[in-house]
Amino acid sequence: MDPAKGIKDAERRVYWLDDPRGRSESPRLDGAAETDLLVIGGGFTGLWTALLAKERDPGRAVTLIEGRRIGWAATGRNGGFCAASLTHGIGNGLARWPGEMPELQRQGLANLDEIERTVARHGIDCDFRRSGEMHVATEAWQVPELAEEAAAARSLCGGDTIEELDRDRVRAEVDSPTYLAGLWDRRGVAMIDPVRLAWGLRDACLSLGVRVHERTPALDLRAAGASMAVRTPGGGIRARQVALGTGVFAPLLRRLRHLVIPVYDYALVTEPIPERLLASVGWRNRQGIGDSANRFHYYRLTHDNRILWGGYDAIYYNGGLIKGAHNQRDRTFLTLAEHFYQTFPQLDGVRFSHRWGGVIDTCSRFSAFFGTAYGARVAYAAGYTGLGVGASRFGGNVMLDLLSGTATERTRLAMVRQTPIPFPPEPIRSGVVQLTRWSIARADEDQGRRNLWLRTLDALGVGFDS
């Protein structure tokens, strides 16, 4: 099908948020309030932090404020891959913290296990499926890299859940003529409906006594004696401690402006695929899939047998401005549709029903970083770089550990103690990012060979990814 025809009638809305079941809105905060712990941000980081805080200490007064609606930003716009990885993949982790990777993998898998238990304990209806993720090679140069990844994964996780697939076996799982080999991590990733998870976490927070206020943006943050004071449009809040889960939006701490940049990611969702057509693809095990290029695609089945198809372009708009208009980019949607029909030619007549984009917080090491301010009365976690659905729970625990002042197995990690290299100021920042994007595209076109610029960034421990 002509890609333009495929997306012609696609609504410019987020599939996950287009849910007829809906839910009630928590009231905005009007007037003054006091609390023990104030959590700023109603995405996954904030929701997990608030819930974990009440589970640790039911008597603690916890308040969460969100500038718009719960889950409206990156939390509700992602592909719904809930991964165990805390390091944006094994390769990235081994390049940065090789000695810690066994422990990081252990803690990451334990974190995913706890997410699964929390979903069951609170009865959260978010289509949680521990179906794993399959990485596929679509170019010959990617096949040996998959084998290396498999060997590394087995050394860290054991061999029971890591399965290498040759061309015939990978196509027996999901049939695409583009597939040359595959690697299936059967336990390290769960597929979820991210919006339903966010809404379920909000309800769990409310059931434990967390006060939740939507449409209540934090306008500034300052010390006020022994407390912290946050101004809001309708009043303000004084809190003994503050946890920041605001991602890339309006940092309340100046230092964060240099550590994260806004990168836009885009996705399409098909109309429901009839059973006879879906049978031509296979996909009986419903695992998530990602290809192995530097500019990679991620895709999965939804509960109603649509295919969510995203990734490839990671767009930084020069100047780093965050605008609602950036959530739609027709050039990228056309490219994604073209790649979809190339990957699954048997679905040539299938059209897309939704198209959207969203901004993610990217840092120079690709994985979350953590810290404190104001004499450890404020903690923050940011920089998940698109892999925060699962790692955000770990981030919430890290912030609570840091605020407690007690060393834990999490806060002893070098990954937690180290800060990523800051990005340069504009306009240098835009030039560096665009040169890096161009170099990554060239590497994909040149059998994965990295040019001098990318090799230099690798040596410095700096990068750019989606």
Could you tell me the pLDDT band of residue 19, with boundaries at 50, 70 and 90? confident
pLDDT at residue number 73: 95
pLDDT at residue number 464: 56
Q: Which tens digits make up the pLDDT trace of 66-97? A: 999 999 999 999 999 999 999 999 999 999 99
Q: Which tens digits make up the pLDDT trace of 238-286? A: 999 999 999 999 889 999 999 999 999 999 999 999 999 999 999 999 9
What sign does the CA torsion over 169, 170, 173, 179 have?
A: negative
Could you tell me the pLDDT band of residue 463, with boundaries at 50, 70 and 90? low
pLDDT at residue number 461: 78
> Is pLDDT of 230 > 60?
yes
Q: Which tens digits make up the pLDDT trace of 176-192? A: 999 999 999 999 999 99
Residue 224: strand pairing partners: 227
User: Domain map of the chain by residue range?
Assistant: 428-460
Q: Which tens digits make up the pLDDT trace of 321-380? A: 999 999 999 999 999 999 999 999 999 999 999 999 999 999 999 999 999 999 999 999
> Is pLDDT of 465 > 60?
no
Q: Which residues contact 254 (CB under 8 A, 6 or more apart)?
A: none
Give me the chain's average pLDDT, please. Answer: 95
pLDDT at residue number 466: 44
| Percent helix, percent strand, percent coil in the chain, to nearest 5 | 35, 25, 40
